[in-house]
Structure 1
Amino acid sequence: MQLSLTQPSSWILLLLLMTNLLLWKNAASVPMCAMRNARCFTFFEDTFELAGSLSHNISIEVSELFTEFEKHYSKVPGLRDKSPTRCHTSFLPTPENKEQARHTHYEALLKSGEMILDAWESPLDDLVSELSTIKNVPDKIISKVTDIKKKIDAVQKGVNSLMSTMLQNGDEEKKNPAWSRLPLLQSDNEDTRIRSSYGMISCLDNDFKKVDIYLNVLKCYMLKIDNC
């Protein structure tokens, strides 16, 4: 059965299937591949292809979510305060843009993507859980956040599997940045909850633009694509 890549569930299923194959076999030493357009694609190449395409799709959806949330709650006092929101991932030593990513070794670039994705695991759970408590939040926004969370989970599993299989660091202890905004998400003050959710979505938008850059630079590296 052929799955349509325009369906979110198909993206997730394909990526999880590919990462399970990576864990099942050491793809670096097994010359297995799939023929497409007269070219042999290895499991690694396929996984990077999927992860890069899905991360780009997620980045677009997060930006759309940010715009929709901002528009819906535009009248909340202080929502678009010009003082910058400090994201919990701000201190992570990761490339800031595409130019820096291109000059970063592929192992460090993959690690940067993993650090950001892992750092969002708990905050995203909290955002999905607490968003529905906000007054008059549109079902469309809740649905989009839930869908984005599922897709990010799939990309995270893919990147974690690549790190474990390619770099042999599966036993390395992970130290995720501290997450301390849950009390704001659970505040009795409605406007505080809205501003906190808005700040989180803004940070997620910024961070996933980075992840999108990293994975697509890596995709170009793995698939030897010029002018990427």
Structure 2
Amino acid sequence: MQLSLTQPSSWILLLLVTNLFLWKNVASVPFCAMRNVRCFMFLEDMFDLAGSMSHNISIEVSEMFTEFEKHYAKVPGLKDKSLTRCHTTSLPIPENKEQAKHTHYGALLKSAHMVLKAWKSPLNDLVRQISTLKNIPDTIISKATDIKLKINSVEQGVNSIINRMLQNGDEERNYPAWSSLPIFKSNDEDASIRSFYGMISCLDNDCKKVDIYLNVLKCYVLQMDNC
């Protein structure tokens, strides 16, 4: 594909700042080529960047989840899956890589965006409330803040790609509603910990899905082998 974007949108600038200050482990990706003092960003580069960033997010969320699980391992019923219901369960999205590979690229882009957008409000709550937990490690609080910034950034990027690639990219899309879990305000510390554990578990699963979607698309656009 030889499509290019002739103006650097705000999400690109945000990704640049995020990459410089937060993304220490991600390889640098060219943002644009300068021609007559104008920035031209190729679609291939946008997919490359989105795929790399989504993979980094997935790793960081898994690290946060593992750290949280180890820190609160003695909390009764922590891993009781019957207590966890993800708010994104109802989304009509591919469940694994095989399904993603057989999904039209437009639908796959929209699936990625639906998941990322669906986590905007929950992540705001997570960052605001997680520091209230007793003895919560500072590293978990820091990771939660970083993850929120990065997911918001990638969501803007995916939305920008959709609006430029798809004829109906600006159509209204429905996202699952989120209401703050009442348990966040509970006086039962163990119940709050289990609630956060379930929430982070859902985030971990969803970030893995987005990572699959965007890297399947990256392989398709860049015509990579062994995808």
**TM score, norm. by length of structure 1:** 0.82
Output the amino acid matched with 1:216: N
SS of residue matched to 1:83: helix
Matches within 5 A, 1:45-60: 45-60=44-59
Aligned residue number for residue 44 of structure 1:
43
Contact 1:4 1:10 in 2 (8 A): no
- The 1-side partners of 2:74 and 2:179 are apart by 26
Give 1:182 shift.
2.6
Matches within 5 A, 1:106-185: 106-185=105-184
Aligned residue number for residue 102 of structure 1:
101
CA change 1:215–1:84 in 2 (3 A) is farther
Give 1:169 shift.
3.6
Contact 1:181 1:196 in 2 (8 A): no
Give 1:134 shift.
0.7
- Count of residue pairs the alignment pairs up: 206
Over 4 Å off, 4+ runs: 2-7, 9-12
- Once the two structures are superposed, residues 174-194 of structure 1 have per-residue CA deviations (whole angstroms, 9 ceiling, x without a partner) of 321121343122222211211
- The 2-side partners of 1:183 and 1:72 are apart by 23
List runs of 5+ in structure 1 lacking aligned partners.
Answer: 19-24, 26-31, 34-41
Give 1:159 shift.
0.4
- The 2-side partners of 1:133 and 1:5 are apart by 29
Give 1:204 shift.
0.4
Percent identity, aligned pairs only?
A: 66
Aligned residue number for residue 8 of structure 1:
22
Aligned residue number for residue 214 of structure 1:
213
- The 2-side partners of 1:226 and 1:90 are apart by 32
SS of residue matched to 1:88: coil
Output the amino acid matched with 2:127: V
SS of residue matched to 1:56: helix
My pick for the range that moved more, 2-11 or 95-104, is 2-11
Contact 1:11 1:54 in 2 (8 A): no
Give 1:8 shift.
2.1
Aligned residue number for residue 88 of structure 1:
87
Alignment RMSD (CA, Å): 2.8
- Once the two structures are superposed, residues 113-135 of structure 1 have per-residue CA deviations (whole angstroms, 9 ceiling, x without a partner) of 01100100000000000001111
My pick for the range that moved more, 124-133 or 42-51, is 42-51
**TM score, norm. by length of structure 2:** 0.82
Contact 2:125 2:180 in 1 (8 A): no
Give 1:172 shift.
2.2
Give 1:167 shift.
1.2
Aligned residue number for residue 72 of structure 1:
71
SS of residue matched to 1:129: helix
- Once the two structures are superposed, residues 54-101 of structure 1 have per-residue CA deviations (whole angstroms, 9 ceiling, x without a partner) of 100110111111000000011111111142621000110100000000
- Once the two structures are superposed, residues 153-209 of structure 1 have per-residue CA deviations (whole angstroms, 9 ceiling, x without a partner) of 111110011111111445422321121343122222211211111111000000000
Give 1:4 shift.
11
Aligned residue number for residue 185 of structure 2:
186
